[in-house]
Chain A
């Protein structure tokens, strides 16, 4: 299969795109845990295209969990932000595609990430910055992992975002049960206790993801815990 235009891409093309980075059509759960959540978000929710990647009123997606970005790069390629041929350069010296993304090297990538726990605070600031400029329509989405939630900076951000009622802020937590000590009481409870709307769904079910992403959450930020198969 050769991809020539972004329009031609479907979810089933993503496996091929990912294989250009990993050399395998079949991927371990760690590499693809985010794949369905990202695809549904980019395909059906986010209001951003390569043409509007710099528009001030675009939606923002911040990949906080920068580890294993192949699924992210594949989705960006499928949506026309990246030339699929660039995927073949993954990790090379002159490639824009590192094993953690760098926003200054890739069109449409909002943040550089890799060190865990930076995306949600940056997302809080992004939501605040848009609000301060009267841009109350763009949505801000941050994707983190359940183990990433260990980082205390997330808890600073989610507590504040709930208290401040940042209703344009959204967090997707990919839960592959990789947090060393787990989350007694459930991940969603951390968000609801801080004043967020939160829902837990099957992270492989596209319709369920879409419903969770688009659920109304007036006056409060919204978290979607997307449960996928355990990492180990």
Chain B
């Protein structure tokens, strides 16, 4: 997915003179050819993440459409005040594209894990958050983000689904319908595990490659006509991050929410991504147990 980001962004730089890519050493080698073609629009500030976001804000102030990229930990968490002030408070837009997400490089440990990135952005107004589950979706969502003017976070991950889905930016996609049982909202790369988990169970599955804004209408439509409103969220970042948005969407009716995702506690284990997915209970077998025992 990160490779696709680099190739798509490189192509977009050729097409749109308004675009600039701002880097802080991470992925910089991948942009060598783009930097040679567009030396004033591929900008590597070095290992300086406050400047990464500050310069991104400055570029936007001049009318450019900046795309800033590094690992999620250093894109959202480390320079969070810059995200708050140098983008949102200045009233400008930007595209932030992260890599590594929550558990992509477990051998790298806690310093390179950012399960709280989406929750942090939820404290700020105006952010669109895309969590693609496949490189083709990342391509589509990046193109959509680059063409716009707003604040967009594109969260790339090493975990992917086997195939891309026919997504529309900003909308949930119904991938499995059932007249009864819970509605499961699967965010980005957890979709395949969710579909395996609910095989043979009564459950509707909505796929969210865009999770902010949260598609209230899709959730309400999926629950229309049901006696109960049971919603399971499966998110590849901090568990329960989207729970308030479900509550908001269903404020007028009784509902239950099960928020599954990355646990708040540090695992303090290295190992592989699959081991961490299982440790957080996000593998198909764990998800099936947790969903069926709750529903």
Contact = CB atoms under 8 A, between A and B. Distances in A.
Interface of A: 56, 102-104, 110-112, 115, 117-118, 120-133, 135, 152-153, 156-157, 159-160, 163
Chain A binding site: helix, strand, loop or mixed by DSSP?
helix
Nearest to B24: A156
B54 A122 contact: yes
B82 A130 contact: no
B63 A56 contact: yes
A112 B55 CA distance: 15
Contacts, number: 109
13 contacts: A103-B90, A120-B54, A121-B57, A121-B58, A122-B86, A125-B62, A125-B66, A126-B62, A127-B58, A128-B20, A129-B64, A156-B54, A160-B51
A132 B81 CA distance: 26
B45 A129 contact: no
- In order of increasing CB-CB distance, the 10 nearest A-B pairs are A125-B58, A121-B54, A129-B62, A125-B55, A156-B48, A156-B51, A126-B58, A153-B50, A129-B59, A132-B40
A125 B57 contact: yes
> Which one of B58, B66, B82, B86 has the greatest number of beta carbons of chain A within 10 Å?
B58
Interface in B10-49: 17, 20, 22, 40-41, 43, 45-46, 48
Contacts of A118: 54, 82, 85-86
> Which one of A120, A129, A135 has the greatest number of beta carbons of chain B within 10 Å?
A129
B45 A156 contact: yes
Nearest to A132: B40
Interface of B: 17, 20, 22, 40-41, 43, 45-46, 48, 50-51, 53-64, 66, 81-82, 85-86, 89-91
A153 B86 CA distance: 12
A124 B64 CA distance: 14
B48 A160 contact: yes
A40 to B, nearest CB: 24
Nearest to A124: B55
A41 to B, nearest CB: 19
Contacts of B59: 125-126, 128-129, 132
A156 B64 contact: no
Contacts of B58: 121-129
A224 B224 CA distance: 66
A161 to B, nearest CB: 9
Contacts of A117: 50
B27 to A, nearest CB: 18
Contact of B50 (A121, A127, A129): A121
Contact of B63 (A110, A124, A129): A129
Contacts of B55: 121-122, 124-125, 128, 157, 160
A56 B66 CA distance: 17
A157 B82 CA distance: 13
Contacts of B50: 117, 121, 152-153, 156
A56 B45 CA distance: 24
> Which one of A123, A126, A152 has the greatest number of beta carbons of chain B within 10 Å?
A126
Contacts of A163: 46
B267 to A, nearest CB: 31
Given A103-B90, A104-B91, A153-B51, A126 B20 contact: no
B51 A130 contact: no
> Which one of B20, B41, B46, B86 has the greatest number of beta carbons of chain A within 10 Å?
B86
Nearest to A157: B51
Contacts of B41: 132
Nearest to B49: A156
A180 to B, nearest CB: 20
B221 to A, nearest CB: 37
